[in-house]
Amino acid sequence: MASRNLGGRSASRSGGGGGKKSLSARNAAVERRNLITVCRFSVKTLIDRSCFETIDDSSPEFNNFAAILEQILSHRLKEISQSCRWLAHLQIPLQGQVTWFGYESPRSFWDYIRVACRKVSQNCICSIENMENVSSSRAKGRAWIRVALMEKHLSEYISTALRDFKTTRRFYEDGAIVLGEEANMLAGMLLGLNAIDFSFCLKGEGLDGNFPAVIDYTPYLKFTQSSDSISSDEEELRTLGSSGSESSTPENVGPPFIMDENSWFNKCKRVKQKYQLTLEQKGYLEELLRLRENQLSESVSQNKTLLQRIEDSDLAHKLEKEQLEYIIVELQDQLKSYQSLDQLSAEVSLSQTSLDPGQSQEGDGKQDTLNSISEGKEDTPSLLGLCGSLTSVASYKSLTSLKSNDYLASPTTEMTSPGLTPS
């Protein structure tokens, strides 16, 4: 019997140990899920609030988001004495003073951020380290959140830190949010904050690191009561009222429902305001679209006009090029004819020296004839056409109708004339 009792006790102890482990795992999973869910809600509320007003230190939505992010980055953060050896090896300064029992001040998520985010280009780590009015590690972490939001680089900082898995493992224990699957969700949901323009004062009370951040869950809680539960509550209130005093009536139950109606009226009013704002934005966007369409149509018509001008100028250039080519050919032909005339006049002058005076007179007559021919050649209509505009169509047609060979003297006939033969 004793052995049986001992066995039963040992089995119950082992079962209790397994139950504790499963309970702790369940609690850790619920904690991670709660923080990630409320962080997603806070990001949505920040984006909605930024449509109506500027987000600064006085905004309750931002204060709640900063507290949530601080809780996420501080989730299962290791104690500073567990990794002071490798930090000293990396020559990284630590916050607090060293004693025989470790560090006096507790570790903050800033110690992890300043190590894991140094690879970010143009980071603000050094500027936050050199801030005079911020001394504690927690205050510097809060200042970093504000600066990263104003720079629109918070998601980039978180993504870079999570990619450095070795550093993350050194700073956090197993089961931390930054070591689980929720880390990727965190970097993705923070990306939407880049569309918001934040304005913070880095010298305010929000950077006080003496008090931990507390999350306000009430804006994200919503309880919907069914009709059955409302009727049962009403019956319970009637029962309690009748048992307490005979003078009590069900009218005492009225105020909660009146308040509920007021809350519905307020919600309807807010929805109506949003609807009016949406209508105004819709009208503005439609007007802007109409203006852009008009500008686009004008640009298309101007583009067509420019293309037509380019085509006309190309055609005019081609015609002018053809005219110039024809004129060049005509001038080359006339140059060749002038060169043949010069050779003929040189031969005539040589033949005159070997002739008698009678023949020299005849040669002079022949020279006069050649001069008259050359003068007639210079007065050809083709040359007169050159005196006008080279680009005129009329001169171009007159040039095409002319033949220079008709106005040139044939050198063969002059050479074979009996007056030029030597005696």
- What integer pLDDT is reported at residue 410 of this predicted model? 42
Give the residue from 220, 236, 252 where a domain finishes. 220
Q: Is the dihedral of CA 83, 87, 89, 94 positive or negative?
A: negative
Question: Is residue 194 in some structural domain?
Answer: yes
Same domain, yes or no: 205 and 73: yes
Q: b vs e for 108-137, b when ≥16 Cβ sit within 10 Å of the residue's Cβ?
A: bbbbbbbbbbeebeebbbeebeeeeebebb
Task: Between 8 and 279, name the one with better pLDDT.
Answer: 279
pLDDT range class, residue 372, cuts 50, 70, 90: low
Question: Is residue 105 in some structural domain?
Answer: yes
Q: What is the mean pLDDT of residues 223-247?
A: 52
Give the number of other Cβ atoms within 10 Å of residue 48's Cβ: 11
Q: What is the mean pLDDT of residues 220-225?
A: 70
User: Two tokens at 187?
Assistant: 């970097």
Is the pLDDT at 41 greater than 90, yes or no?
yes
Apex 182 CA angle, 181 and 188, nearest 5: 110
Same domain, yes or no: 121 and 65: yes
Same domain, yes or no: 162 and 278: no
Question: Is residue 362 in some structural domain?
Answer: no
Amino acid identity for residue 362 in this structure: E
Q: The domain containing residue 181 runs over which residues?
A: 26-81+93-220
Same domain, yes or no: 106 and 201: yes
Is 150 strand, coil or helix? helix
Question: Is residue 256 in some structural domain?
Answer: no
Q: Is the dihedral of CA 279, 284, 288, 293 positive or negative?
A: positive
Same domain, yes or no: 206 and 276: no
Is the pLDDT at 11 greater than 70, yes or no?
no
The overall average pLDDT reported for the chain is: 74
The β-bridge relationship of strands 102-103 and 98-99 is antiparallel
Same domain, yes or no: 125 and 273: no
Same domain, yes or no: 209 and 294: no
Same domain, yes or no: 183 and 301: no
Is the pLDDT at 226 greater than 80, yes or no?
no
Q: What is the mean pLDDT of residues 49-73?
A: 91
Lowest mean pLDDT among 62-66, 106-110, 237-241, 270-274: 237-241
Is the pLDDT at 32 greater than 80, yes or no?
yes
Give the residue from 220, 254, 288 where a domain finishes. 220
Asked if residue 337 lies in contact with residue 315, where contact means CB atoms within 8 angstroms, the answer is: no
Give the number of other Cβ atoms within 10 Å of residue 298's Cβ: 10
Picking from 109, 214, 195, 99, the residue whose alpha carbon sits closest to that of residue 152 is 195
Asked if residue 124 lies in contact with residue 144, where contact means CB atoms within 8 angstroms, the answer is: yes
pLDDT range class, residue 112, cuts 50, 70, 90: very high
User: For 281-340, how does the pLDDT look when each residue is reduced to its tens digit (9 = 90+)?
Assistant: 898 899 999 999 999 999 999 999 999 999 999 999 999 999 999 999 999 999 988 888
- What integer pLDDT is reported at residue 403 of this predicted model? 44
**To 10 degrees, what angle do helices 182-189 and 2-50 make?**
10
Global pTM value: 0.49
- What integer pLDDT is reported at residue 209 of this predicted model? 66
Amino acid identity for residue 411 in this structure: P
Question: Is residue 365 in some structural domain?
Answer: no
Q: What is the mean pLDDT of residues 398-422?
A: 43
Same domain, yes or no: 44 and 114: yes
Find the length of the chain: 423
Give the residue from 323, 347, 371 where a domain finishes. 347
- What integer pLDDT is reported at residue 409 of this predicted model? 42
pLDDT range class, residue 383, cuts 50, 70, 90: very low
Name the domain count of the chain. Answer: 2
Q: Locate all alpha helices (DSSP H) within 2-55, ordered by sequence.
A: 2-50
Amino acid identity for residue 423 in this structure: S
Picking from 132, 87, 80, the residue whose alpha carbon sits closest to that of residue 106 is 80
Asked if residue 148 lies in contact with residue 157, where contact means CB atoms within 8 angstroms, the answer is: yes
Same domain, yes or no: 46 and 181: yes
The Cα 176–Cα 186 span in angstroms is 13
Asked if residue 76 lies in contact with residue 27, where contact means CB atoms within 8 angstroms, the answer is: no
Please give the biggest Cα pair distance in the chain.
Answer: 174
Q: Which residue in this structure is represented by tokens 């951020």?
A: 113
- What integer pLDDT is reported at residue 354 of this predicted model? 67
Same domain, yes or no: 118 and 197: yes
Question: Is residue 381 in some structural domain?
Answer: no
pLDDT range class, residue 82, cuts 50, 70, 90: very low
Is the pLDDT at 211 greater than 70, yes or no?
yes
Radius of gyration of the chain (CA): 51
CA dihedral of residues 164, 170, 173, 178 (deg, nearest 10): -20
Question: Is residue 15 in some structural domain?
Answer: no
Q: What is the mean pLDDT of residues 379-398?
A: 46
Report CA-CA distances (Å) from 412 to 73, 344, 405, 417: 110, 10, 14, 9
Q: Which residue in this structure is represented by tokens 């050896």?
A: 85
Same domain, yes or no: 106 and 211: yes
Q: What is the mean pLDDT of residues 111-130?
A: 91
- What integer pLDDT is reported at residue 370 of this predicted model? 52
Question: Is residue 379 in some structural domain?
Answer: no
CATH of the domain at 145: 1.20.58.900
User: For 141-176, how does the pLDDT look when each residue is reduced to its tens digit (9 = 90+)?
Assistant: 999 999 999 999 999 999 999 999 999 999 999 999
